Amino acid sequence: MKTAKYVGLIVLVAMLASLFAGCGGGGAKTIKIAIIAPMTGDVGTFGASTRDGAVLAFEEWNAKGGVLGKKIEWVVADGRCDPQEARNAANKVIDQDKVKFIVGEVCSSASIPVSEVANEKKVLQISPTSTNPKVTTFADGSTKPFTFRACFIDPFQGTVMAKFALENLKAKTAAVLLDQGNDYVRGLAEYFRDAFEKGGGKVLVWETYTKDDTDFSAILAKVADAKPDFLFLPDYYNKVNLIAKQAKEKGITCPMGGGDGWDSEELDVAAVDGGFFSNHYDAADPRPVVQSWLKTYGARYGGKVPDALATLAYDAANLLVTAIQQAGSDDPDKVRVAMEKLSFDGVSGKITFDAQHNPIKSAVVISVKDGKKSYMATVNP
């Protein structure tokens, strides 16, 4: 009799568990997606823009009924653009929040450890903005099956800026200053150097600094002595602001240039006046999809103009949900197959993926002059 009672009790508990699983606030009726971005730290504006762009995409999908008949639920985790913090965030959202999909991280140095976690645990990741090739590839060059990106990569970005310096600015010599410990910065610097020298230019100064440095007088003295035609600063806006201001104080007047890490409302436009940077989109682009995006984003976020971080996060989130829809499943393994086949018209351009999950798309060059950022040129792959 006791055995029968225990069996009956177990069956009843199982039935109740099944009932509550189907009725409660969670898994069965939602698709949960994590946004991992630097919400605090040195580049907090990057995190805010990334979150806002991705959230707007998810809100639009939910307003239309969601995807696969389910609403999208998102969680935000702070990766701080730090390798260990980002790894911790990835483990947390997967193991505790039970997400199957990640939008993030922002910085390459943080996206690489996130990709290691995601591929080990078979969770699909799409980084909006991480441009280092190692984000989507293993050490042997093979493709990480569960990691994609929405942005062009550093070899292309470095080549764009080298070509622009050589052809548009007629630069014959350059100086390059870089944080050797930052994957994004080092990669962009190396690709610029290789393309610049291959195009006939000469890099006169190649100097490194660390993440925590604030006094750049010693390496800038070498730049001043060399008198290059172009100074390449492939770091994020916060560090560029410091270096560029000190460069101007030392009398360095040559044009400065950088990558998409310059794209922030906190870029010191006075310090980099006369400079140029590569980017993923320009708000002056007349395409209807861009102008519609500006209106939608401005209406949602108090009239703000979306930067490239917000725009790429919006594209990345839409790419991910579109792939879920086309897969007809929220199984990450099926979604990654659908993602590989996508042809997607995003705000940042038409996107298809190559064999290493990098989008094939164009870049723009932005000029900084008299306190304004202006479109200069579009460069195709």
Here the tokens at position 153 are: 């990569």
In this predicted structure, the answer to whether residue 180 has a pLDDT above a threshold of 60 is: yes
The CATH class, in words, for 27-151+286-361 is alpha beta
User: Residues 114, 90: contact at Cβ < 8 Å?
Assistant: yes
* The pTM of the whole model exceeds 0.75: yes
pLDDT range class, residue 38, cuts 50, 70, 90: very high
In this predicted structure, the answer to whether residue 62 has a pLDDT above a threshold of 80 is: yes
Q: State the number of CA atoms in the 13 A half-sphere of 309 facing the CB.
A: 26
> Tell me, what's the pLDDT at 28?
56
> Tell me, what's the pLDDT at 18?
36
In this predicted structure, the answer to whether residue 280 has a pLDDT above a threshold of 80 is: yes
Question: Which is nearest to 232 in space by CA: 270, 265, 266, 201?
Answer: 201
pLDDT range class, residue 377, cuts 50, 70, 90: confident
Spatial distance between the Cα atoms of 116 and 146, rounded to a whole number of angstroms: 10
How many other CB atoms are there within 10 angstroms of residue 190's CB atom? Answer: 17
> Tell me, what's the pLDDT at 361?
87
pLDDT mean across residues, the chain: 92
**Range of weakest confidence among 15-29, 61-75, 86-100, 336-350:** 15-29
In this predicted structure, the answer to whether residue 9 has a pLDDT above a threshold of 50 is: no
> Tell me, what's the pLDDT at 362?
85
In this predicted structure, the answer to whether residue 6 has a pLDDT above a threshold of 90 is: no
Q: Which helix (H) or strand (E) holds 207?
A: strand 202-209
Q: Which residues contact 90 (CB under 8 A, 6 or more apart)?
A: 36, 77, 79, 102, 113, 114, 117, 118
Q: Mean pLDDT across the stretch 99-126?
A: 98
Q: What are the structural domain ranges in the chain? A: 27-151+286-361, 155-279
In this predicted structure, the answer to whether residue 1 has a pLDDT above a threshold of 80 is: no
In this predicted structure, the answer to whether residue 247 has a pLDDT above a threshold of 90 is: yes
> Tell me, what's the pLDDT at 378?
81
What are the tens digits of pLDDT across the range 341-370?
999 999 999 899 999 999 988 889 999 999
Task: Return the DSSP state at 128.
Answer: S
Q: Mean pLDDT across the stretch 108-131?
A: 97
First to last CA, the chain: 76
Spatial distance between the Cα atoms of 149 and 136, rounded to a whole number of angstroms: 8
> Tell me, what's the pLDDT at 134?
95
User: Residues 168, 377: contact at Cβ < 8 Å?
Assistant: yes
What are the tens digits of pLDDT across the range 307-327?
999 999 999 999 999 999 999
In this predicted structure, the answer to whether residue 300 has a pLDDT above a threshold of 70 is: yes
- DSSP states along 331-378: -HHHHHHHHHT-EEEETTEEEEE-TTS-EE--EEEEEEETTEEEEEEE
In this predicted structure, the answer to whether residue 16 has a pLDDT above a threshold of 80 is: no
SS3 per-residue string spanning 39-107: CCCCCHHHHHHHHHHHHHHHHHHHHCCCECCEEEEEEEEECCCCHHHHHHHHHHHHHCCCCCEEEECCC
Spatial distance between the Cα atoms of 293 and 190, rounded to a whole number of angstroms: 34
Which fold would CATH assign to domain 155-279?
A: Rossmann fold (3.40.50)
In this predicted structure, the answer to whether residue 129 has a pLDDT above a threshold of 90 is: yes
Q: State the number of CA atoms in the 13 A half-sphere of 266 facing the CB.
A: 15
